Amino acid sequence: MEEFSLDDPTQLLEAASDFASYPGFQNDEAVKKFLDKFPLPVIISALQCKGDVPSLETTLVACLERVFNTKYGASLIPQFMSFVQVGLQAESQIVRRLACKTVSCFLENGSSDSVSAALVIDHDIYPLLLDCLVNSDELVAKASTDAIKSLAKYPEGMEVIFDANKDEATRIGNLASRCSSLGRIRVLSLIVKLFSVSTTVASTIYNSNLLSLFEAEILNANDMLATLSVLELLYELSESPHGTDFLARGTFLQLLTSTISNTSVESILRSRAIMIIGRLFSTESTFAVVEESSVKTVLNVLGERMESLKGHDTDEFETAVEALGQIGSSSYGAALLFSTSLARHLCNAAFERQGRGKQLAALHALGNIVGENRSDDRKLLNDNAEESLRFLIYEIAARSSKLTPSVLFLSILQQDPEIRLAAYRLITGLVARPWCLMEICSKQEMIRIVTDPHNDSTKNGMEARYNCCVAISKALSSSNKLSDPSLADIAEKLHEAVRRGPYLARARMEAQPSVLTAER
């Protein structure tokens, strides 16, 4: 190997820069070739003795990231755990971030058994990761979170992270109580990320009472920004695979409904609380762990809030409408909505043009509630809910200038493309009801719009129109009305539209001859 001196790192700097900036994937063979010329001890020594060489630290860090992100590079990490320890305590933030990423690479790309986790634990890496989490910049904190999340995938890692010794300084709950406001938010963010690891980790977090940290922050009304950050984290938690069920079991519903009904609370906080409620009740599993009386309390609070916002074009009202659409995406939630005044609020907002934003949100929400996203066997609701839906649609049509549901539906199909897309979704769900199918088929103009491939230019619009055609065609084929000649003609138009697919604008595309005059 050619002799290399740290007194003149120019050669290393150039080679490391080329290696780090290589546009393609660096495989194990490329890493071996590079390290044969510049062994890891040399690179690490140069990093620790960087002196005043411009960009040396940044370049070497980028180079090492690529080295350790390969199987071969990760296999070398056990020999340099002392470097990782030093790196996690370095003054340089980019070196700290490198050390955190090195731990992640080792746990993700190293040995497939628990040897990797045991080695990390034996070198007391976990406490150093926690220190990076709460006392470093944002990028280091994120890298530290990723490393701890990787450690939690191992049983040994779980034992360290959720140590039963309450006096342990590294216990997450104790750490949060000793942190600054920013540090606490980072600890809560770590808990949210750990929730997504597995059901076992989620259960351990719940049983460790760590969710009480979120409750305490929400109850602390002195820091609005901190409260908003916690609500953002709760929304993220409600989207995690294992978060919804655990959130629904605690006192969060009561806290969220209190936030929504408290008029002295900032509107942005109420809106976030409403969004979390909607997300929590978007799955059937939540209804299985929450008593019906508690669900109705939540719905009543939403109804009261919407009533107070009636006539005001606010983001909070639209957020509430979207939340109702999420709640009604399940057949059980949709049936519950029709047992309250909320269904009337939605139908009024959808058809009475109380503001474009409100109408668009309400049409999409109503589309969810009537089953646009549900399977065919779950589109219809119980008898009381179905009767309430039918009554509301006919009532709104009767007191408007439209007089009939068919003209009411036609009026929203004739609006701008975004409203029309929402109308497609609504009709897709509604036509599973025979009464609505007849209303749709009674207007030739409606059939012309939904079968016209030139009406929509966006991908979402074309797909929504196509799905609408499929739903009407399927409902018509399943009915006993095809003996009617007018309906048979409609069925043929729908069949042709379905056959063309969502994107084909013309039934037949033919090559057109191109005639050019000869150049002289």
Q: How far apart are CA 156 and CA 117, in angstroms?
A: 7
Model confidence pLDDT, tens digit, residues 145-155? 999 999 999 99
Please name which of 368, 338, 365, 340 lies closest in space to residue 350, comparing C-alpha atoms.
Answer: 365
Q: What is the C-alpha to C-alpha distance for residues 306 and 277, in angstroms, rounded to an integer?
A: 14
Report pLDDT for 217: 87
Distance from C-alpha of 339 to C-alpha of 299, rounded to nearest angstrom: 10
Tokens of 477: 């084929």
Confidence of residue 165 (pLDDT cuts 50, 70, 90): low
Amino acid at 75: S
**Tally of helices (H runs) and strands (E runs) in the chain:** 32, 0
SS3 content of the chain, % helix, strand, coil (to 5): 70, 0, 30
Return d(Cα 453, Cα 495) in angstroms, integer. Answer: 13
Q: Specify the residue for token string 């920013």.
A: 182
pLDDT digits (tens, 9 = 90+) for 47-94: 887 666 778 899 999 999 999 999 999 999 999 999 999 999 999 999
* Chain mean pLDDT for the chain: 88
Residue for token digits 């990028």?
Answer: 139
Residue 426 has φ and ψ, to the nearest 5°, of -60, -45
67 against 293, higher pLDDT: 67
Give residue 311's pLDDT: 67
What is the per-residue pLDDT across 422-462, written as a single tens digit (0 to 9) for each?
999 999 999 999 999 999 998 899 999 999 988 888 999 99
Query: Are 316 and 261 in contact, with CB atoms under 8 Å apart?
Result: no
The amino acid present at 114, given as its one-letter code, is S
Q: Which of residues 41 and 284 earns the better pLDDT score?
A: 41
H or E stretch including 134?
helix 125-135
More confident site: 282 or 3: 282
Closest alpha carbon to 342 in 313, 362, 312: 362
Q: For the chain, what is the radius of gyration of the CA atoms?
A: 30
How much is the pLDDT for 508?
46
Residues 6+ apart with CB under 8 A from 8: none
Cα 379 from Cα 367, distance rounded (Å): 11
Compute φ and ψ for 445, nearest 5 degrees: -65, -35
The residue-averaged pLDDT of 190-210 equals 92
Q: Which residue has the tokens 């749709």?
A: 440
Backbone angles phi, psi at 372, to 5 degrees: -55, -35
Q: How far apart are CA 332 and CA 284, in angstroms?
A: 7
Per-residue pLDDT of 348-372, as tens digits, reads 889 877 778 889 999 999 999 999 9
* Burial (0-12, 13-18, 19+ Cβ within 10 Å), 302: buried
Domain range summary for the chain, segments of one domain joined by + = 1-122
pLDDT for position 484: 76
Is residue 342 within 8 A of residue 348, CB to CB? The reply is: no
If we measure between CA atoms, which residue out of 369, 392, 455, 390 comes closest to residue 420? 455
Q: Are 75 and 38 in contact, with CB atoms under 8 Å apart? A: no
- 170 to each of 107, 167, 179, 493, how far by Cα in Å? 20, 9, 12, 68
Give the Cα separation of 495 and 76 in Å (integer).
63
pTM of this structure: 0.84
- Phi, psi torsion values for 511, nearest 5 degrees: -70, 135
Distance CA 130, CA 136 (A): 10
Phi, psi torsion values for 108, nearest 5 degrees: -90, -35
* Cα dihedral sign, 392-397-399-400: positive
Q: Tell me how far apart the alpha carbons of residues 147 and 302 are, in angstroms, rounded to a whole number.
A: 40
The helix (run of H) or strand (run of E) holding residue 432 is none
For 374-391, the pLDDT digits (tens) are 998 899 999 999 999 999
Six-digit token string for 85: 């320890």
Q: Which two tokens stand for residue 105?
A: 């690479």
SS (H, E, C) 439-495: HHHCCHHHHHHHHCCCCCCCHHHHHHHHHHHHHHHHHHHHCCCCCCHHHHHHHHHHH
pLDDT tens by residue, 230-267:
999 999 998 887 788 888 877 888 999 999 998 888 88
Q: Which residues, 6+ apart, have CB-to-CB distance to 446 below 8 Å? A: 406, 409, 410, 413, 440
pLDDT tens digits along 94-147: 999 999 999 999 998 865 567 788 889 999 999 999 999 999 999 999 999 999
